[in-house]
């Protein structure tokens, strides 16, 4: 493995209050010798309509795990998007990243019959096109952070990767080899999170201002407005709570984990170990026990703190558990901002949220948990958002 090390993200100062995501002084330009990586499931809406949203989420998170494991010497900024992911990697890592994401594309195709797209675009190309890539670090807890992207570059790269033709130079092909990607740390064992307050509302908000500072002010207005409607700290509306965390064995999630082991060396032994550790985790959770670095009550508390239910990558993404009338008020607030020409938005409601986990170290409490609404969540909210964007561009 090549010696790949870059301290850009590792040394980036962090912030721990989510509303500060709108403070542009906290962002730093991504170095010129880095690249933006975009992955997504082509046709994810149809797959979700067929009830396959758990598979879609799993492959979206798998891309993050694959890249992190391929470049262990470098801290990688990333954002989970539900049906895909956004990442930034140093150019010295592109060969490794292309290899593992090509392998992830093959795995997605063979094990889930999902068409995973992946592409990588140099930051220089983004800046030549008139956009920029700015990065900030939101700290969920000590040792656990999530990247926030601004500057318009991520949206530009997404458009390039998702274009039906003309940008093949950025796409990552499926390799002839069936060597699997390393997905160590990816876990999907918890049951869907049932709403405790009425409904899970997934939200995508895209500011329509002419400048970055104008958009930042709009996003802050959205965040503050939602908090005012909730009449509480939005953390109290987290989709993950002590009342809806249920662990069962075997779960659909653990079956999906088993599928990801296809073509892995010693895959039979690994699958046996997967089910055995899942059963042990069931016992520890049921009786609030600890063993081998896993302390059930501590892990659940850390999990709630490290739930990724608010994020930003050139648009604001949030999933909240709230009363139905509160969701109504939030949508009315968004519609008012939309009528003023400030935002385009999409929302989707469901009874449950889904959680997909990346567990790096139990003893150090290093693990993050990606949240998406069930029945599609972000992907279905994107349908409404795209319709509004088309109307605004006509």
What's the pLDDT score for residue 49? 87
pLDDT digits (tens, 9 = 90+) for 154-204: 999 999 998 865 567 899 999 988 889 999 999 988 999 999 999 999 999
Give the DSSP per-residue string, 61-99. Answer: HHHHHHHHHH-TTS---EEE-SSEEEEEEEGGGHHHHHH
pTM greater than the 0.75 cutoff: yes
> In terms of Cα–Cα distance, which of 149, 151, 8, 147 is closest to 78?
147
Q: Residue-wise over 144-166: b if at least 16 C-beta within 10 A, else e? A: bbbbbbbbbbbbbbbebbeeeee
What's the pLDDT score for residue 4? 56
What's the pLDDT score for residue 1? 42
Whole-number Å distance between alpha carbons of 388 and 207: 12
Q: Is the pLDDT assigned to residue 136 strictly greater than 80?
A: yes
What's the pLDDT score for residue 394? 66
Q: Span 145-155, mean pLDDT? A: 96
> In terms of Cα–Cα distance, which of 313, 358, 306 is closest to 136?
313
Per domain, the residue ranges of the chain are 14-180
Q: Scanning the structure block, which residue is given the tokens 């090549």? A: 2
pLDDT digits (tens, 9 = 90+) for 13-35: 999 999 999 999 999 999 999 99
Q: Scanning the structure block, which residue is given the tokens 């060969």? A: 95
Kindly state the tokens that stand for 29.
Answer: 């330009």
pLDDT digits (tens, 9 = 90+) for 239-291: 999 999 999 998 888 888 998 888 788 888 999 999 999 999 999 999 999 99
Q: Span 352-375, mean pLDDT? A: 93
Q: Mean pLDDT across the chain, nearest whole number? A: 93
What's the pLDDT score for residue 378? 94
Check: CB of residue 85 under 8 Å from CB of residue 60: yes
What's the pLDDT score for residue 2? 44
What's the pLDDT score for residue 169? 86
Whole-number Å distance between alpha carbons of 100 and 184: 13
Looking at the chain, the whole-number percentage of residues with pLDDT higher than 90 is: 81
The correct CATH number of 14-180 out of 1.10.3470, 3.30.70, 2.60.120, 1.20.5 is: 3.30.70
What's the pLDDT score for residue 166? 54
């Amino acid at each position: 493995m090549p010696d790949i090390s870059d301290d850009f993200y590792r040394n980036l100062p962090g912030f721990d209050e989510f509303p500060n995501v709108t403070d542009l002084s906290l962002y730093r330009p991504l170095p010129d010798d880095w690249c933006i990586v975009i992955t997504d499931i082509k046709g994810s809406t149809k797959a979700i309509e067929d009830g396959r949203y758990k598979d879609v989420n799993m492959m979206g998170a798998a891309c993050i795990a694959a890249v992190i494991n391929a470049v262990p010497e470098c801290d990688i900024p990333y954002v989970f998007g539900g049906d895909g992911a956004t990442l930034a990697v140093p150019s010295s890592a592109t060969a490794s990243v292309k290899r593992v994401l090509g392998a992830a594309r093959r795995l997605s195709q063979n094990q889930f019959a999902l068409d995973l797209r992946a592409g990588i675009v140099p930051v220089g190309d983004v800046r030549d096109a008139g956009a920029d890539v700015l990065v900030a670090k939101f700290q969920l807890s000590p040792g656990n952070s999530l990247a926030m992207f601004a500057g318009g570059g991520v949206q530009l790269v997404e458009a390039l990767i998702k274009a039906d033709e003309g940008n093949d130079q950025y796409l990552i092909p499926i390799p002839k080899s069936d060597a699997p990607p390393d997905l160590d740390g990816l876990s999907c064992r918890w049951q869907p999170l049932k709403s405790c307050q009425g409904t899970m509302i997934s939200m995508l908000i895209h500011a329509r201002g002419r400048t970055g500072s104008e958009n930042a002010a709009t996003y802050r207005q959205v965040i503050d407005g939602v908090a005012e409607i909730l009449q509480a700290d939005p953390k109290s509306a987290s989709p993950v709570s002590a009342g809806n965390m249920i662990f069962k064995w075997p779960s659909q999630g653990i079956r999906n984990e088993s599928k990801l082991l296809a073509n892995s060396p010693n895959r039979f032994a690994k699958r046996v170990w997967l089910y055995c550790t899942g059963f042990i985790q069931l016992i520890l959770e049921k009786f609030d026990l600890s063993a081998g670095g896993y302390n059930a009550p501590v892990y659940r508390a850390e999990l709630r703190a490290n739930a990724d239910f608010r994020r930003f990558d050139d648009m604001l993404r949030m999933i909240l558990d709230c009363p139905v009338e509160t969701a109504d008020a939030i949508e009315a607030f968004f519609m008012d901002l939309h009528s003023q020409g400030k935002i385009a938005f999409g929302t989707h409601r469901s009874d449950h949220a889904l959680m997909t986990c990346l567990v790096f170290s139990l003893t150090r409490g290093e693990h993050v948990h990606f949240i998406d609404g069930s029945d599609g969540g972000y992907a279905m909210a994107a349908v409404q958002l795209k319709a509004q964007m088309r109307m605004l561009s006509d």
